[in-house]
Every structure is written in C-alpha cells, then in structure tokens.
Structure 1
Amino acid sequence: MHEVSLGQTIRDYLTGTDIENTTYEDLRQALAQLMVEELGYPAALLEPRISVRFPVDGKQYCRTVDLAVQDGDGRPFLYILFVPGQVNTFTRESLAAARLGKHGPVPLVAVTDTRDALLLETAGGTTLRDGMRALPPRSRALELARQHPAAPLTPERTLREQRILYTYSEFMKTCCDESVCML
C-alpha cells in the first residue's frame, strides 16, 4: 500500500500545526507521542519531517526523514524513519539518508513500521538493537550516539550514498508517481 492523502488535515503532535492527513500520518503521530511520553524526549528536541536533499547528475532529489532527534546543541544524532513494510528491507535506504544528513552523518538511525524496529549505527550499518524496544530512551540515546560516532564522508563515499538514496527515491517515485519528499 502506498501513502495517499485522505483529503483532510490532522493536528501535528510536535508542532501543533495542521498537516495533511495521509494513510500513514496517524502512525507517525503515534511514534512522536511514544518518543515524548514513554521514552522521555522533550518535544523541543524532536523535529518532524526533515528533508535530506542531495544532487545526482545535476538534479536535486529529496528523502524525508520522519523524525530527527537533536542533542542540546541542535545537531541531530538520531534519525527515525517510518516505513510501510518489513523494516529490514529499508535499512540500506535509511543508512544512506542518515549518512547524508544536512550537518554530516547522523550517528544513529532507527527504522520502524510501529510494530517492529531496528536501531543501527550509521558508520558501519551494524544493528544495535531490534524489536520495539530498539528505540532507545532519552537516558540512553546520547550515550549510544557517543559510542558510535559517524565521521564525515569522503567525496567518493558521498557520491555512492547519493546514488543509493537516488535509486530508492526513483523507485518510489516511479512506482507511486509522486515525489518522495512529502514536504
């Protein structure tokens, strides 16, 4: 099933603004609520709908990350991507998005369908935790990020990650006939 508009709006849990309601938006809202109310993240440190933009062959592409968790200095250290399917089939795309973060590679990336989740360290792609307890509580998240730093990419590695994310983006765009960037 592809994400489609339901022709109405929904109140965003984090920002309080009205946003387009889609077939998956209620799940994204529940994920944000889980992060705040159960895992202890201040809402002010969670940023919804982060745009990862990247060029390929002179054309700009975009992949939206559902939530970015920031440290106290405003730098993201964890990206969370909601995926509509088996989470392990989205790990490579999610790693590429985390490696191409606006401020450089983000140390951790989580992939979830809200029933299952994987927490990966971005540098090597190793799974740190799996299952719905994979999303770390705030008390543990920054320590995990410090234990798994993500160094800046070389120009060659950046091009490879852009190509990988491009491949996923174009597949979704062609399949769904929509922009992958839902901003």
Structure 2
Amino acid sequence: MRVPKPHHLIYGTLEDYLTGEELTDTDDERIRQELQRMMVEEKGYRREELTPRLKIETLFTRSFVTSTIEITITCNQKQTLIVRYGPGSMVSRERAAVAAARVLNPEYRIPFAVVTNGRDAELLDTRTGKILGYGLHSIPSRETIETLLNQVEYLPPLKGEQRERELRILNAFDVERCCF
C-alpha cells in the first residue's frame, strides 16, 4: 500500500485572524490569513461580516469531496460574496467558485465570487459567470459592495437537476488527486 506524501510544509500552528482558532501553519494558510486581514484592514469589512471556512460536501461516483469557501462575506444580513483561494492558475478555479456561490446558501444564490491565488484575483458575477474585474484591487471594498448590491437581484436557490449539476461541477473541480 502506498502512503500519500504530504505536499505542504507544516511550520507548527497559527492563530486564525478572525476567530482566534488554532490552525495548522502552512504556506497556504498564511495566504488565507493575509486575505482575511486584507478584507478587514484594507477593504473595510467588519470581522463579524466575514465567515471563514464554510464547507459544501458532495458525493458523486464514489468521490466524497469537501469544498471549502475560504471567506463568506455577509452584508445587510445576506451572504453577498465568497472568496476561494488556490495556488496557481485562477482560470481553472472560476467555474467551481461560481458553482459554490450558487449552492452554498439554501435560500438564494450568492451574487459575487472572488478567486485568488494570493497574488492576483478575479471578481465574478455568479449569475452569468462573467469576470467583472482583475487583480487584488478588483476585490470589492465594503463601500463598493454596497453600491454593487443596489444593482443586483438575489436569485432564488437552484432546485433539482440544476442544483445537482452545480454540485457535480464543484465535486469534479475540487476532488484532490495528488501525493503518490
């Protein structure tokens, strides 16, 4: 039996910027923490508007996948924006981020998603899947999101086959195949 090789350097533990929870300290987690810090200190969100590490679990063709949403932003009592992080190319993460925003909330579809590798970012309209902006500066500030929300309609949740299709997309894009 082959044992998976770890693909992350572990430096110990660190304290989560938003919750104070103790987390495993890896390069990826350090970037996630910087994203949290940026959202509060540079983009103007209140800590209580940010929810870290929400999960969506899927099981299709014997592949159980837990998809993590790094940050979910709530404004005016509604989830407004999700942030998904992953190293490398962002284009390969766009569709999964849109799928996650469409199914995360059971009452409505979240209108915006951000994909980022920590150095660059894309802001996505989850209704159309179109890219609204490029670069870390395209991540909307608290003030900007208020303006965007005046121009957007919260769509009803997906049901039946449409919801299942989005969950299948999320499952396929987020399955881990590595480390042997």
**TM superposition score category, shorter chain reference:** 0.7 to 0.9
Q: Which residue of 1 aligns with 2:177?
A: 174
- Contact 2:109–2:154 (Cα < 8 Å) also in 1: yes
Q: How does 1:1-183 map onto structure 2 within 5 Å? A: 4=8, 6=10, 8-56=12-60, 61-73=65-77, 75-103=78-106, 104-151=108-155, 152-170=157-175, 173-176=176-179
- Rounded Cα–Cα distance in structure 1 between residues aligned with 2:55 and 2:134: 25
- Rounded Cα–Cα distance in structure 1 between residues aligned with 2:167 and 2:97: 12
TM-score (structure 1 length as normaliser) = 0.85
**Counterparts in 2 of 1:121 and 1:7: CA distance versus 1, 3 Å:** same
- Rounded Cα–Cα distance in structure 2 between residues aligned with 1:80 and 1:3: 23
Q: Secondary structure at the match of 1:174?
A: coil
* Higher Rg of the two aligned structures: 2
Larger relative CO (CA 8 A, sep 6+): 1 or 2? 2
- Rounded Cα–Cα distance in structure 1 between residues aligned with 2:159 and 2:100: 16
TM-score (structure 2 length as normaliser) = 0.86
Q: Could you give the per-residue CA deviations for residues 64-120 of structure 1, whole angstroms, max 9, x where no partner exists?
A: 0100001232x3110001110121221011111111113342110001112111000
- Per the TM alignment, residue 40 of structure 1 is displaced from its structure 2 partner at its CA by 0.3
Unmatched segments (≥5 aa) in structure 1:
178-183
Q: Secondary structure at the match of 1:24?
A: helix
- Contact 1:122–1:150 (Cα < 8 Å) also in 2: no
**Given residue 81 of structure 2, which amino acid in structure 1 is its aligned partner?**
L
**Given residue 67 of structure 1, which amino acid in structure 2 is its aligned partner?**
I
- Rounded Cα–Cα distance in structure 1 between residues aligned with 2:9 and 2:57: 23
CA RMSD of aligned residues (A): 2.1
- Contact 1:123–1:150 (Cα < 8 Å) also in 2: no
- Contact 2:58–2:168 (Cα < 8 Å) also in 1: no
**Given residue 22 of structure 1, which amino acid in structure 2 is its aligned partner?**
T
**Given residue 113 of structure 1, which amino acid in structure 2 is its aligned partner?**
N
- Rounded Cα–Cα distance in structure 2 between residues aligned with 1:158 and 1:58: 19
- Rounded Cα–Cα distance in structure 2 between residues aligned with 1:142 and 1:111: 20
Identity of aligned residues (%): 32
- Rounded Cα–Cα distance in structure 2 between residues aligned with 1:150 and 1:4: 38
Number of corresponding residues:
173
**Counterparts in 2 of 1:51 and 1:3: CA distance versus 1, 3 Å:** farther
- Rounded Cα–Cα distance in structure 1 between residues aligned with 2:54 and 2:135: 24
Q: Moved runs in structure 1, 4+ residues, more than 4 A? A: 57-60
Unmatched segments (≥5 aa) in structure 2:
1-5
